[in-house]
Chains A and B, each alone.
Chain A
Amino acid sequence: MTEARWTHDGYEMVVGLEVHVELATKTKLFSASPNRFGDEPNTNIDPVTLGLPGALPVLNKYAVELAMRIGLALNCTVQPCTFARKNYFYPDMPTSYQISQYEDPLNIDGWLDLPDGTRVGIERAHMEQDAGKSTHVGGGEGRVHGAEHSLIDLNRAGVPLVEIVSRPDIRSPEQAREYVNELRAILLAIGASDAKMEEGSMRVDANVSVRRPGAELGTRCEIKNVNSVRSVGRAIEYEAKRQILMLEAGEAIRQQTRHWDEGDGRTHTLRDKEDADDYRYFLEPDLVPVAPSADWIEEVRASLPVLPAARRARLALAAGLAADSEAVGSIVDRGQDDYAFSVQAAGGDIGRAVVHMKEAFAEMGAEPVLPAADLAGLTTLEIEGKLTATQAKTVLGELLEQGGGDAAAIAAAKGFEAMDTSELEAMVDDAIAAQPDAWEKFCAGEAKAMGALVGHIMKASRGQADGKLVTQILNARK
């Protein structure tokens, strides 16, 4: 469950996230070089990537399509768009300008719903090219400051990115993490990006400010170098507290870009706003405007799969669970919800299937090895009262080990026989007689006392009694 509100000394945090994702194209945004992570440095290059004199960018149409998929999945309006040059000198930017979308981005005005129901606005999701990668050698901790020399790998230069800019609608570290997780789930579901934060194909910058609830927005700081979902929460929490401390000490917040240091758990000043580059944006004269036709947009929209939120809702409804329950979330994350529905289609109980899958299928992908019909058989035995939950778990273990099989046969071989109600009633009588104190306390309303009684019955039945049924009987007798 997400913590919707975070407050500290009477302040709240106001957070917007800028998430860069590398698109899962075969080639770069403006050239035919491969878009591939992990290759030998400076092998995926060409005149355009190198920014050679005379080279010209040509837009990768598939990148536009993937960017549109992102926009449509985030409920954005797709509009005619243009590219601009963002001018700045940096050794890993070969042309000394980044081609990005400035005034007219492809996608605007969308939203993303968090599992807890919070709606985070999406201001824009625009296309741009990635820079190369600099490795600073000989300085402290790989920073450029104090380095003896720098190595530049241009394999990443020109890789297509979409920058997804949220509105400042996030109010807690937990929501920020949920936002990143949900966004990642959507990107994976629509095949737009492999969204690996550890490989940098998904990168998060956070704009953080604090205020008294209801007050005007405070001055924000942009936090960079947030490289994991966990750091997103840590970094913004640290930053919010830092700002509150400053305000409480009577100091003003300066608009800054700050660097998150994973090691010391702090943010450090990178540059003040006054020191920021003047990017001198202007329309990229080497490219023409892109106006996706209504037909193209609808074609892309129609090709979108059912998104994680809808899949969670669908599964939760079928399984009788909450949409933000952990079981539903993890099964949808793994893409196993279709499998759960095929267990249902095979006559099984989807509720029991989800309970089993949550733990037992954790290491599996979207297509578990166990035939859905076999899991269906198992859940049927449970529903019919022929197996207890504990027994079912044992049988499932066997099924998974064998890669399938008949649950009933395995249960029989293990000697699992569900006791009928009269046998259980007798065992309850024995337990009450054996532990009168516990019974009295239980009757007096001490729920904890039930444990001793159930324990007695389980022991007597050597674990074969159905705990749920036992509880029911005990409650009825009270």
Chain B
Amino acid sequence: MSPFDSASEIAAGVRSGDLKAVDVLEQHLARIDARETEIHAFNLVIADAARQQAAAVDAIVAAGGDPGPLAGVPVALKDNMCTRGVPTTCSSKILADWKPPYDGTVVSLLQRAGAVAIGKTNLDEFAMGSSTENSAFGPTRNPLDTDLVPGGSSGGSAAAVAAGFAPLSFGSDTGGSIRQPAALCGVVGVKPTYGRVSRYGLVAFASSLDQIGPFTHTVADAALALQVVCGHDPHDSTSIAEPLPDYSALLERGVEGLRVGRITDLPAGADPDVAERIEQAFDALAAAGATIVDVEVPAFTYGLTAYYIIAPAEASSNLARYDGVRYGLRVDAPDTHAMYSATRAAGFGDEVKRRILLGTYALSAGYYDAYYGKALRIRRLMADDFAKAYAQADVLLTPSSPSVAFPFGSKTADPFAMYLCDTYTIPANLTGEPGMSVPFGTGQNDLPVGVQVLAPALGEPVMLQVAAELERAATDLTAGGAS
């Protein structure tokens, strides 16, 4: 599989003293030096701070201590995660020079677990997009083929792992922004249950949908990362207080006796190469002892529509704070309102403006019921439909993305074509349920295909269990030279 060391291997090595965190770091920095100009995964590499942190980790080990479960693991952070004193730009001109005075909760948790933050990764501006082409600082390229997009919006984080710049990275997923780029870059990407990971310090796109999650080479690494970043946070009122399970416990158990759901009324649109791999995934799980069951999720089809009301509506409010008054870009003008307009006109890119307009319209007096109100009803229907499906199945399988990685510019002219990238991932954001993408073979041009595993709320253990089986089956697939 991956030619790179996994986070689990690195952490185990550093904790035991077999590996030095500083050496691990230099190895990764060297890879960044070699390919970053071409890939542009990062908005910022913080090599010096990383070297200090790695040295501190080694010092703890040398003193007989334990730096934590992610000891010495280089980690790349999506540039919408607040890092104290380190620019957090959201790949937007409006925040180009902004340095947060505080660390987000996930950033603090990672540091406490011994991870070594190496940089801030590129994204579609304010996480709005599916190709990372909407970054104000230029696109990220897919490490597997630099003529292709890495997906988005967490394209930089996905590319950083795929290119071996870091064995672990974090992104945010509002409508598929972790799972889709994971699929396109051939790595594992997890969107946990809404509320499982604190959003404190994540720059909001759509607050009721946003969720932070990891990118890794392996399912085991994803479980390890979740163990560190999940948990209740008093700084986030929507954070879940339930105790944490052991996310690694079921990885080796197999899928014997599990019910895997096939959504019979899934919206069409997956390319044949992707669809074929998904069928093979069902076959592999059946072969491993799972029962495949047919389920219906009628509201699935309306997910995209509801999402493109709800997410822009929340975004229009969340992004209203970028007014040039307190921080970030300010373009001077004769009066306050003119200053707002000039600042926001210059500071936001087209896609961000488009969504602010959409959301403002959807919430406006006289249109609220027709748009926002209706979208909320679809959201409730969606939750009901999934609840029925999960009464019949332990997990559901779908494609993560309708297609493998696509060329730059192929969807930029038509926003709707780009929005369709998230057809299969959006419902889990609307319901708040977990979903992940696990690489499962390749499609056209030998590009990776991701299988999405969906589970009910707090169903991460069974989701990871199934993903681990698919990971083993995918290895056989490669070894067996199938298709």
Question: Does A91 sit within 8 A of B, measured CB to CB?
Answer: yes
Shortest distance in angstroms between A31's beta carbon and chain B's nearest beta carbon?
10
- With both beta carbons as reference points, the residue of chain A lying nearest to B233 in the complex is identified as A56
Residues of A within 8 A of B204 (CB): 53-54, 286
Residues of A within 8 A of B323 (CB): 89, 91, 96
Question: Does A386 sit within 8 A of B, measured CB to CB?
Answer: no
Residues of B within 8 A of A54 (CB): 80-82, 88, 100, 102, 104, 199-204
Q: Which of A55, A87, A97, A278 has the most CB of B within 10 A?
A: A55
Contact B317 A282 (CB under 8 A): yes
Contact B320 A87 (CB under 8 A): yes
- A interface footprint on B414-432 (CB within 8 Å = 1, 0 otherwise): 0000000000000000000
Q: Which of B88, B237, B368 has the most CB of A within 10 A?
A: B237
- B interface footprint on A273-286 (CB within 8 Å = 1, 0 otherwise): 00000101110011
Residues of B within 8 A of A117 (CB): none
- A interface footprint on B319-334 (CB within 8 Å = 1, 0 otherwise): 0110101110000000
Contact A53 B100 (CB under 8 A): yes
Which listed residue (B208, B325, B327, B365) contacts A52, Cβ 8 A? B327
Which listed residue (A51, A52, A281) contacts B100, Cβ 8 A? A52
State which residues 300-344 of B face A: CB under 8 Å: 313-314, 316-317, 320-321, 323, 325-327, 336-337, 340
Question: Does A58 sit within 8 A of B, measured CB to CB?
Answer: yes
Residues of B within 8 A of A87 (CB): 316-317, 320, 363
Contact A53 B313 (CB under 8 A): no
Contact B236 A56 (CB under 8 A): yes
Contact B317 A47 (CB under 8 A): no
Question: What is the CA–CA distance of A87 and B336 in the complex, to the nearest angstrom?
Answer: 17
Question: Does B160 sit within 8 A of A, measured CB to CB?
Answer: no
Contact A53 B235 (CB under 8 A): no
- Known contacts: A54-B100, A58-B234. The answer to whether A285 contacts B326 by CB under 8 A is no
Shortest distance in angstroms between B100's beta carbon and chain A's nearest beta carbon?
7
State which residues 288-346 of A face B: CB under 8 Å: 288
Residues of B within 8 A of A53 (CB): 80, 82, 88, 90, 95, 98, 100, 203-204, 321
| Chain A interface, >50% SS class | loop
Residues of B within 8 A of A150 (CB): 336
Residues of A within 8 A of B360 (CB): 280
State which residues 353-407 of B face A: CB under 8 Å: 360, 363-365, 368, 372
Residues of A within 8 A of B340 (CB): 89
Question: Does B238 sit within 8 A of A, measured CB to CB?
Answer: yes
Question: What is the CA–CA distance of A87 and B314 in the complex, to the nearest angstrom?
Answer: 11
Contact B101 A47 (CB under 8 A): yes
Which listed residue (B236, B325, B363) contacts A282, Cβ 8 A? B363
- Known contacts: A47-B102, A53-B204, A91-B336. The answer to whether A58 contacts B365 by CB under 8 A is no
Q: Which of A47, A53, A55, A280 has the most CB of B within 10 A?
A: A53
Question: Does B207 sit within 8 A of A, measured CB to CB?
Answer: yes
| Total interface residues in chain B, CB < 8 Å | 44
- With both beta carbons as reference points, the residue of chain B lying nearest to A96 in the complex is identified as B320
Question: What is the CA–CA distance of A52 and B320 in the complex, to the nearest angstrom?
Answer: 12
Residues of B within 8 A of A124 (CB): none
Which listed residue (B237, B316, B317) contacts A287, Cβ 8 A? B237
Question: What is the CA–CA distance of A390 and B375 in the complex, to the nearest angstrom?
Answer: 78
State which residues 28-56 of A face B: CB under 8 Å: 47, 50-56
Q: Which of B317, B326, B340 has the most CB of A within 10 A?
A: B317
- With both beta carbons as reference points, the residue of chain B lying nearest to A83 in the complex is identified as B237
- With both beta carbons as reference points, the residue of chain A lying nearest to B339 in the complex is identified as A91
Residues of B within 8 A of A282 (CB): 313-314, 317, 363, 368, 372
Question: Does A152 sit within 8 A of B, measured CB to CB?
Answer: yes
Question: What is the CA–CA distance of A59 and B80 in the complex, to the nearest angstrom?
Answer: 24
- With both beta carbons as reference points, the residue of chain B lying nearest to A47 in the complex is identified as B102
| Total interface residues in chain A, CB < 8 Å | 29
Question: Does A95 sit within 8 A of B, measured CB to CB?
Answer: yes
Question: What is the CA–CA distance of A280 and B317 in the complex, to the nearest angstrom?
Answer: 9
Question: What is the CA–CA distance of A56 and B102 in the complex, to the nearest angstrom?
Answer: 12
Residues of A within 8 A of B236 (CB): 56, 58
Shortest distance in angstroms between B95's beta carbon and chain A's nearest beta carbon?
7
Question: What is the CA–CA distance of A96 and B340 in the complex, to the nearest angstrom?
Answer: 11
Question: Does A85 sit within 8 A of B, measured CB to CB?
Answer: yes
Question: What is the CA–CA distance of A285 and B208 in the complex, to the nearest angstrom?
Answer: 5
- With both beta carbons as reference points, the residue of chain A lying nearest to B335 in the complex is identified as A144
Residues of B within 8 A of A50 (CB): 326-327
Q: Which of A55, A85, A95, A285 has the most CB of B within 10 A?
A: A285
- With both beta carbons as reference points, the residue of chain B lying nearest to A280 in the complex is identified as B363
Which listed residue (A58, A96, A97) contacts B237, Cβ 8 A? A58
State which residues 78-135 of B face A: CB under 8 Å: 80-82, 88, 90, 95, 98, 100-102, 104
- B interface footprint on A74-100 (CB within 8 Å = 1, 0 otherwise): 000000000001010101001111000
Question: Does A57 sit within 8 A of B, measured CB to CB?
Answer: yes
Contact A51 B237 (CB under 8 A): no
Shortest distance in angstroms between B150's beta carbon and chain A's nearest beta carbon?
24
Contact A288 B88 (CB under 8 A): no
- A interface footprint on B163-193 (CB within 8 Å = 1, 0 otherwise): 0000000000000000000000000000000
Contact A59 B321 (CB under 8 A): no
Residues of A within 8 A of B203 (CB): 53-54
Residues of B within 8 A of A55 (CB): 102, 200-201
Contact B320 A288 (CB under 8 A): no
Which listed residue (A58, A96, A285) contacts B314, Cβ 8 A? A285
Question: What is the CA–CA distance of A91 and B340 in the complex, to the nearest angstrom?
Answer: 10
Residues of B within 8 A of A278 (CB): 364-365
- With both beta carbons as reference points, the residue of chain B lying nearest to A85 in the complex is identified as B317
Shortest distance in angstroms between A91's beta carbon and chain B's nearest beta carbon?
5
Question: What is the CA–CA distance of A477 and B479 in the complex, to the nearest angstrom?
Answer: 128
Question: What is the CA–CA distance of A332 and B206 in the complex, to the nearest angstrom?
Answer: 52
Contact A59 B237 (CB under 8 A): yes
Question: What is the CA–CA distance of A57 and B206 in the complex, to the nearest angstrom?
Answer: 15
Residues of B within 8 A of A95 (CB): 320-321
Question: What is the CA–CA distance of A281 and B365 in the complex, to the nearest angstrom?
Answer: 9
Residues of A within 8 A of B314 (CB): 282, 285
- Known contacts: A53-B100, A96-B320, A282-B363. The answer to whether A91 contacts B325 by CB under 8 A is yes
Contact A280 B364 (CB under 8 A): yes
Contact B326 A94 (CB under 8 A): yes
Question: What is the CA–CA distance of A160 and B326 in the complex, to the nearest angstrom?
Answer: 22
Question: What is the CA–CA distance of A167 and B100 in the complex, to the nearest angstrom?
Answer: 46
Question: What is the CA–CA distance of A51 and B204 in the complex, to the nearest angstrom?
Answer: 11
Contact A58 B235 (CB under 8 A): yes
Question: What is the CA–CA distance of A220 and B430 in the complex, to the nearest angstrom?
Answer: 42
Shortest distance in angstroms between B324's beta carbon and chain A's nearest beta carbon?
9
Shortest distance in angstroms between B358's beta carbon and chain A's nearest beta carbon?
13
Residues of B within 8 A of A281 (CB): 363
Residues of A within 8 A of B90 (CB): 53
Contact A94 B237 (CB under 8 A): no
Question: What is the CA–CA distance of A51 and B323 in the complex, to the nearest angstrom?
Answer: 11
Contact B95 A97 (CB under 8 A): no
Contact B321 A96 (CB under 8 A): yes
Residues of B within 8 A of A97 (CB): 317, 320
Question: What is the CA–CA distance of A58 and B234 in the complex, to the nearest angstrom?
Answer: 8
Residues of B within 8 A of A94 (CB): 321, 325-326
- Known contacts: A58-B234, A58-B237, A59-B237. The answer to whether A51 contacts B321 by CB under 8 A is yes
Residues of A within 8 A of B202 (CB): 54
Residues of A within 8 A of B200 (CB): 54-56
Give chain A's interface residues, CB within 8 Å of chain B: 47, 50-59, 85, 87, 89, 91, 94-97, 150, 152, 278, 280-282, 285-288
Instruction: Sort A-B residue pairs by CB-CB distance and give the 6 closest, nearest first.
Output: A96-B320, A285-B208, A280-B363, A285-B207, A53-B203, A54-B82
Give chain B's interface residues, CB within 8 Å of chain A: 80-82, 88, 90, 95, 98, 100-102, 104, 199-204, 206-208, 234-238, 313-314, 316-317, 320-321, 323, 325-327, 336-337, 340, 360, 363-365, 368, 372
Q: List 6 A-B contacts (CB under 8 A).
A: A53-B82, A56-B235, A96-B320, A97-B320, A278-B365, A280-B368
Known A89-B320, A94-B325; 6 more pairs at CB < 8 Å: A54-B80, A58-B234, A87-B316, A96-B320, A97-B317, A285-B238
